[in-house]
């Protein structure tokens, strides 16, 4: 068979659908158009959940019976004891008919769907703000707790000096990284378990609760042996296995917002922890990445009222990472308190120029003490209490 003529249709062989030879001398063969097979779209099953509201006269055995029935229906029961009444959030795969089943039980006042994509974290689940208390630290409930200390634990002298200074200035918890997630593999990675031991020694001397980061699910048990609060950093906000592991830990959790995460993604990350049974979760806004370069990140303080309108979880502001500039940290501390933030997380180092990490955004002890004095005045004006 000779060369096809221009415009001639070619059939048979490896091209049963036919094609055309296009162009003049030196033209090319254009194969026939074959449409891609169509895959039918499958609608996902709705992520349903509901709230079972018990009446004020419901006895403890009524609550237990409803929770047991929720479990028997293949869902997970989250019992929340409020000041006025008890509610049970039922999450997981749910049939619409289950609502009628639960509504007919003794002690049940009503059964309502939870419409938010995040269930246990939503205000529909719990209308009263959650306060988390761990040792010397209280976050929420009208109290603005203050977590302060160096980015990294560097030595016994450094962490002890930091702990004494931040406590004297009014901080109610000590922060310090023993395991450090750094952008460069050659940067200081932390003292690891030895750093945890130094943090525990600082707590023993000062009485300050310890907040430190955990990076992997396998480290959760180790870090929880020494720390009061497990911090999940921005880079790990969507590390779902880590979130689940922290949800199964008895330690409280401070969850930082990812630098490129939406509010719904942030709250759904918190949902992973809550859904595993850990109710002591605090949300931390630490700034997001934008086109702006005058600060390390952009710190949206509107996060505080926005989250307060959608979740019962307390909201902490980290102005150190949110700005990356030490001189900007005190004004943002004051502004965060004015926004009714439930807590502050501030980096304080006895010698910022020689810090192993985050020196440019770390306050000196004197600068931190001055900022705390002003925060106290702002808190009084807006009806908050600084500290525990």
pLDDT digits (tens, 9 = 90+) for 132-154: 999 999 999 999 999 999 999 99
Cβ contacts of residue 296 below 8 Å, gap of 6+?
Answer: 287, 321, 322, 323, 324, 325, 361
**Helix ranges, the chain (H):** 60-72, 97-103, 156-169, 193-206, 220-226, 240-247, 263-275, 303-308, 319-323, 329-338, 365-382
Q: Are 230 and 253 in contact (CB under 8 A)?
A: yes
Q: Which residue has the higher pLDDT, 326 or 125?
A: 326
- Whether residue 295 is predicted with pLDDT greater than 90 in this model: the reply is yes
Q: What is the reported pLDDT for 45?
A: 44
DSSP 8-state code for residue 92: S
Q: What is d(CA 291, CA 295) in angstroms, rounded to the nearest whole number? A: 10
296 or 42, which is more confident: 296
Residue ranges per structural domain of the chain: 49-113, 132-386
Within 10 Å of residue 73's Cβ, how many Cβ atoms?
A: 17
pLDDT at 80: 83
Cα(335)–Cα(282) distance, integer angstroms? 19
Q: Report the phi/psi class of residue 219: left, alpha or beta, with left for phi > 0 and alpha for psi in -120 to 50.
A: alpha
What is the per-residue pLDDT across 212-247, written as a single tens digit (0 to 9) for each? 999 999 999 999 999 999 999 999 999 999 999 999
Q: Is the confidence at residue 17, as pLDDT, over 60? A: no
Q: What is the pLDDT of residues 152-183, one digit of tens each?
A: 999 999 999 999 999 999 999 999 999 877 67
Query: How far is 204 from 357, CA to CA, in rounded Å?
Result: 25
**In whole angstroms, how far apart are CA 150 and each of 135, 171, 178, 262, 354?**
20, 13, 11, 28, 12
Residue 135 · residue 199 · CB < 8 Å:
no
Q: Is the pLDDT of residue 286 over 70?
A: yes
Residue 7 to residues 11, 19, 31, 239, Cα–Cα distance (Å): 13, 9, 12, 57
pLDDT tens-place string over residues 181-197:
767 777 767 789 999 99
The pLDDT, as a whole number, for residue 42 is 43
| pLDDT tier at 34, thresholds 50, 70, 90 | low
Q: 225 CB contacts (<8 Å, ≥6 apart)?
A: 196
CB of 135 closer than 8 Å to CB of 333: no
On the question of pLDDT at 46 being above 50, the answer is no
| First-residue to last-residue Cα distance in the chain | 91
User: In CATH, what is the architecture of 132-386?
Assistant: Alpha-Beta Barrel (3.20)
Residue 38 is given by DSSP the state P
282 pLDDT band, cuts 50/70/90, is: very high
In the predicted model, is pLDDT for residue 28 greater than 70?
no
Rg (CA), the chain: 28
pLDDT attached to residue 226: 97
pLDDT at residue 317 greater than cutoff 60: yes
Tell how many helices (H) and how many strands (E) occur in the chain.
Answer: 11, 18
Q: Which residues of 165-179 are buried (b: 16+ CB within 10 A; e: fewer)?
A: bbbebbbbbbbbbbb
pLDDT at 300 over 90: yes
Mutual orientation of helices 240-247 and 263-275 as an angle, nearest 10°?
A: 40
For residue 169, what pLDDT is reported? 97
pLDDT of residue 44: 41
Average pLDDT over the chain, rounded to an integer: 88
Superfamily of domain 49-113: Phospho-2-dehydro-3-deoxyheptonate aldolase; domain 1 (3.30.70.1140)
What's the number of CA atoms in the CB half-sphere (13 Å) around residue 94? 26
Q: What is the mean pLDDT of residues 312-338?
A: 98
């Amino acid at each position: 068979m000779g060369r096809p003529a221009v415009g001639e249709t070619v059939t048979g062989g490896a091209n049963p659908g036919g094609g055309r030879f296009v162009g003049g001398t030196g033209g090319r063969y254009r194969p026939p158009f074959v449409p891609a097979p169509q895959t039918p779209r499958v609608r996902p099953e709705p992520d349903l959940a509901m709230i079972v509201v018990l009446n004020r006269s419901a006895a403890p055995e009524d609550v237990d019976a409803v929770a047991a029935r929720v479990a028997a229906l293949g869902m997970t029961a989250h019992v929340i004891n409020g000041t006025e009444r008890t509610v049970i959030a039922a999450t997981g795969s749910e049939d619409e008919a289950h609502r009628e089943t639960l509504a007919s039980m003794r002690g049940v006042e009503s059964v309502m769907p939870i419409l938010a994509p995040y269930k246990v974290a939503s205000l529909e689940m719990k209308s009263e703000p959650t306060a988390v208390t761990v040792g010397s630290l209280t976050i929420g409930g009208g109290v603005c707790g203050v977590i302060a200390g160096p980015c990294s634990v560097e030595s016994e002298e450094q962490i002890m000096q930091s702990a004494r200074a931040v406590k004297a200035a009014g901080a109610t918890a000590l922060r310090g990284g023993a395991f450090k997630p750094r952008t460069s593999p050659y940067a200081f990675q932390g003292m690891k378990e030895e750093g945890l031991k130094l943090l525990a020694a600082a707590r023993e001397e000062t009485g300050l609760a310890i907040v430190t980061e955990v990076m992997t699910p396998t480290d959760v048990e180790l870090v929880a042996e020494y720390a009061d609060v497990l911090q999940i950093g921005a880079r790990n906000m969507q590390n779902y296995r880590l979130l689940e592991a922290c949800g199964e830990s008895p330690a409280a959790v401070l969850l930082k917002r990812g630098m490129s995460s939406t509010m719904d993604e942030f709250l759904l990350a918190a949902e992973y922890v809550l859904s595993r049974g850990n109710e002591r979760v605090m949300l931390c806004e630490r700034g997001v990445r934008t086109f702006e370069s005058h600060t390390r990140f952009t710190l949206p303080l509107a996060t505080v009222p926005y989250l307060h309108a959608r979740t019962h979880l307390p909201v902490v502001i980290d102005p150190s990472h949110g700005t990356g500039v030490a001189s900007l940290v005190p004004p943002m501390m004051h502004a965060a308190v004015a926004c009714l933030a439930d807590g502050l997380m501030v980096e304080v180092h006895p010698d910022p120029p020689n810090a192993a990490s985050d020196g440019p955004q770390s306050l000196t002890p004197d600068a931190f003490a001055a900022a705390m004095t002003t925060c106290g005045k702002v808190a009084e004006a807006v009806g908050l209490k600084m500290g525990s």
